[in-house]
Amino acid sequence: MTRIHSSFSVIVVRVHRRVSCLRHIVCQWGTLGMAMALYMQVNPIFDLLIFDSGPVEGIPPILIGILTFFALPSYPEKSSWLSNEEQALILKHLHKDAPTIHGKTFEWNAVRLLFTDPTFYSFTAAWICAGVGGSGISFSLPTVIKDLGFTDSRMANVLTMPPSFASFGLVLILGQLVRTGKLNPFPLCIILDFVIIACYLVLLYVDTVGVRYLVLVISTAASGSLYPMLWPKRVQALRGTAMAGLGIGLHNASAQFSGILGPQIFSPVYGPSYQVSFKVSIALLAGAVIFHALAWFFMHGPIQKYVPSLAQRVQAQTQLRKSDLEAKVHPDYVA
């Protein structure tokens, strides 16, 4: 079967490492903020100052956002730091239905196509289930670590740093393996789902504090790798300027459920064992396995053969249509 390995701006297999690196560099500001919070708690000089760690976490993303607004163009043609040859090279790698500078930013037909596309629902459900079930604990991690019983609240903040660094390292390794074609992101995400489930089962039935902390590190690293591994594929499932903007916006919004529901699931009410929390998370991750598998099938499976009624609704660039094959073929179209 012929497939397209290009996203809207660059080849998908080259994107994973970039997405992974950028996302986790931003996430490390949270770790820096926790370290600053600990330092301020042990240093009495901060008792005399009206200062907290909030600016450490909040100011850099604001500054980067302002810089990005002016420095990063929406389209290659608008770039002031790309030569004409470089712009042409980028445009050459785009799918024929990629967003363009002349495309409409909103049209009702794009809304209809998005909401009738089964990949929209499989990705959204996978995003919510994996986000809440896998990453939800990260929003209450200091409390969960403190409830392990071997440290106080100050050291609990410090002990959230190893999971963060482990996630950063793992996502760079996996991103490189996906980029070089040694791993497929869909089965990789399913494996990561099972790894997190296994960790939560250990947390349910093992009482040894050291083991519980170790699997917390592993589960946090695995959950932090899900989003960047699959995001380029999510982008590849969209066609057109309006559909891409709406689809990306809605899926970014659905990812916020982890921050909304995670602290509720891992509320101190369920501590110190968090039995209810881990059982709910396991159920959500089981759903993530199903929806990741469905998204994989819709994106790369023989959908025309087994579910022809859905084939025309799938907008994924990887499911080639006659019009795709008639378009000019470039090196990113591979058998």
Decide if 175 is inside a domain.
yes
> How many Cβ atoms from other residues are within 10 Å of residue 155's Cβ?
14
Is it the case that residue 216 has pLDDT exceeding 80?
yes
pLDDT at 269 over 60: yes
- What is the reported pLDDT for 42? 52
Domain of 116 in residue numbering reads as 3-97+105-329
CA-nearest of 230, 282, 242, 249 to 122 is 230
pLDDT score for 333: 40
Task: Using the predicted structure, report yes or no on whether residue 285 has a pLDDT greater than 90.
Answer: yes
Q: Find, among 106, 113, 130, 134, the residue nearest to 237 by Cα.
A: 113
Residue 244 reports pLDDT greater than 90: no
260 assigned to some structural domain: yes
Task: Summarize pLDDT for 174-203 with one digit per residue, the tens.
Answer: 888 888 888 899 999 999 999 999 999 999
Residue 124 covered by a domain: yes
pTM: 0.78
Q: Rounded to the nearest 5°, which phi and psi values hold at 302? A: -80, 65
Domain-located, residue 335 = no
In angstroms, the first-to-last Cα distance of the chain is 6
How much is the pLDDT for 329?
Answer: 45
CA distances from 237 to 135, 213, 223 (A): 24, 37, 22
Residue 307 confidence (pLDDT) = 81
Q: Minimum mean pLDDT among 12-16, 140-144, 193-197, 263-267: which range?
A: 12-16
222 within a domain of the structure (yes/no)? yes
pLDDT for position 105: 77
Burial class (CB in 10 A: 0-12, 13-18, 19+), 96: middle
Both structure tokens of 80: 């002031």
Q: Is the dihedral of CA 244, 184, 118, 192 positive or negative?
A: negative
Q: Is residue 293 part of a domain?
A: yes
State the CATH number of the domain containing residue 79. 1.20.1250.20
Distance (Å, whole) CA 11 – CA 14: 5
Task: Look at residue 48 and tell me whether its pLDDT is greater than 50.
Answer: no
DSSP per-residue string spanning 102-140: TS-S--HHHHHHHHT-HHHHHHHHHHHHHIIIIIGGGGG
What number of CA atoms fall less than 13 Å from residue 149's CA on the CB side? 9
Q: Is 3 helix (H, G, I), strand (E, B) or coil?
A: strand
Number of domains observed in the structure of the chain:
1
Inside any domain, residue 181: yes
For residue 233, give both structure tokens.
Answer: 């594929």
Residues in the chain, how many? 335
Q: Would residue 334 count as lying in a domain? A: no
Q: What integer pLDDT is reported at residue 214 of this predicted model?
A: 93
Query: Distance between CA atoms of 272 and 222, rounded to whole angstroms?
Result: 23
Phi, psi at 216, each rounded to 5°: -65, -40
With cut-offs at 50, 70 and 90, classify the pLDDT of residue 301. Answer: confident
Write the pLDDT tens digit of every residue in 126-169: 999 999 999 888 888 888 888 887 666 667 777 888 888 888 88
Between 106 and 321, the more confident residue is 106
Could you give the CA distance from residue 113 to residue 108 in angstroms, rounded to a whole number? 9
Write the pLDDT tens digit of every residue in 59-79.
777 888 888 888 878 788 888
